Chains A and B, each alone.
Chain A
């Protein structure tokens, strides 16, 4: 591909049945475009973690994806409660998820660490009471990761 592909998704809060649909859609598009399998897997997992965070914590939000031949940029924006302590949230094992969410298998405290692990660049802007914007970048140049 030579052109830029832009995608937009609305993610509904609390909807665990459809959570992952947008990440799955992006994954399929990247496959069709012929990106490296490792890049596709990294991108899909990082986006899914962000998507599920918005479903669990933020009452939903939006996902905007920009695909170019060199990289994939994902911007996840919500108007949820924000993250009180970002340093703590980045720590493996730290989670504020409720018991009911933990029963579904989430709340391992690995969401943000996983995003960091699989992304080539991760930026989080958050304000308590206003919301959070997560920007995930994956690069074709690290396609063996």
Chain B
């Protein structure tokens, strides 16, 4: 499923998009401790977090997350948005909690039409 489709399914707001919206989402990961994300987040995941700083963008880039999914309507820092756009990382914002988002992403991936 593309980030674009996932965003529509979740009703999220695109903070940083462009070509990154075509990335393929193949899983999901919840977490805010950056090194834990790099240790355990699967490549191609939708990374659900409340960490909206510039370092989160760097971590998404290293871990090769398909997108950053900001929970609880967290507003990313302006320099994070700038870096995400520069590095072509999709950042989406949603009102739901991280747990609710994980369930929603799981359902969207399970119910995706082939």
**Interface residue ranges, A against B (CB under 8 Å):** 16-17, 19-20, 23-24, 27, 37, 41, 44-45, 48-49, 52, 104-111, 113-114, 117
B38-A49 in contact (CB<8A): yes
B58-A105 in contact (CB<8A): no
B79-A114 in contact (CB<8A): no
Interface residues of chain B: helix, strand, loop or mixed (majority): helix
B55-A19 in contact (CB<8A): yes
A48-B33 in contact (CB<8A): no
Interface residues of chain A: helix, strand, loop or mixed (majority): helix
- Taking a contact as CB atoms closer than 8 A, the residue among A20, A37, A109, A114 that contacts B58 in the complex is A20
Q: How many CB-defined contacts (below 8 Å) exist between A and B?
A: 68
**Residues of B within 8 A of A (CB-CB), count:** 21
- List 7 other contacts, CB 8 Å, given A23-B58, A41-B63, A108-B36: A16-B53, A20-B62, A105-B32, A105-B51, A108-B35, A110-B33, A114-B38
Mind listing 14 A-B residue pairs with CB under 8 Å? A19-B58, A20-B58, A20-B59, A20-B62, A24-B87, A41-B63, A105-B33, A105-B53, A105-B55, A105-B56, A106-B34, A110-B33, A110-B39, A117-B39
How distant is A46 from chain B, measured CB to nearest CB, in Å?
A: 9
A17-B79 in contact (CB<8A): yes
How distant is B70 from chain A, measured CB to nearest CB, in Å?
A: 13
How distant is B37 from chain A, measured CB to nearest CB, in Å?
A: 8
Assuming A20-B61, A41-B64, A45-B63, is B54 touching A111 (CB within 8 A)? Answer: no
B62-A23 in contact (CB<8A): yes
A19 CB contacts on chain B under 8 angstroms: 55, 58
